[in-house]
């Protein structure tokens, strides 16, 4: 019994602090809880989900609900085939924060579009993609 208690004490002192520190690190990590491309925003929420958009439509919105990114400037970075086409930044004031940005699209800008959500340190938190295609496809 004494040996079991000794091993248990050793386990708690060796592993316990690691688990506690690790849990705190995860609690402070920002994330994108929800995100989607949409044709419009109403009452701070997306009205639909767009994965493919034809080039006879010239505007799209990106909605994201951010968690644990308060007191940071978060950016929606719009990319077409890896080239930065726009950046829209937001000051996040609370632990749950909804933001959206929009992009006016030119008919010739067909291809895979990505929005990268960038935190205040410049790290990519998440990325989301939609296809912009020729209207006759």
- The whole-angstrom separation of Cα 26 and Cα 81 is 32
Superfamily of structural domain 30-133: Macroglobulin (MG2) domain (2.60.40.1930)
Tell me, what's the pLDDT at 136?
Answer: 85
pLDDT (tens digit, 9 = 90+) per residue, 72-124? 999 999 999 999 999 999 999 999 999 999 999 999 999 999 999 999 999 99
Backbone angles phi, psi at 117, to 5 degrees: -95, 120
Distance of CA 63 to the CA centre of its chain: 9
- The whole-angstrom separation of Cα 97 and Cα 91 is 10
Q: Where are the domains of the chain?
A: 30-133
Tell me, what's the pLDDT at 43?
Answer: 97
Pair of tokens at residue 45 = 């929420």
Tell me, what's the pLDDT at 26?
Answer: 39
Give the residues across from 60 on adjacent strands.
103
pLDDT (tens digit, 9 = 90+) per residue, 22-34? 333 334 589 999 9
């Amino acid at each position: 019994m004494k040996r079991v208690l000794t091993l248990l004490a050793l386990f708690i002192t060796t592993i316990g602090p690691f688990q506690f520190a690790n849990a705190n690190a995860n609690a402070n990590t920002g994330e994108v809880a929800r995100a989607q491309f949409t044709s419009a925003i109403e009452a701070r929420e997306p009205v639909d989900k767009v994965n493919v958009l034809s080039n006879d439509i010239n505007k799209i919105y990106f909605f994201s609900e951010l968690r644990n990114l308060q007191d940071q400037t978060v950016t929606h970075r719009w990319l077409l085939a890896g080239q930065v086409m726009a950046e829209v930044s937001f000051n996040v004031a609370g632990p749950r924060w909804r933001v959206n940005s929009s992009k006016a699209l030119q008919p010739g800008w067909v291809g895979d579009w990505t929005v990268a959500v960038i935190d205040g340190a410049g790290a990519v938190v998440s990325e989301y993609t939609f296809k912009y295609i020729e209207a006759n496809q």
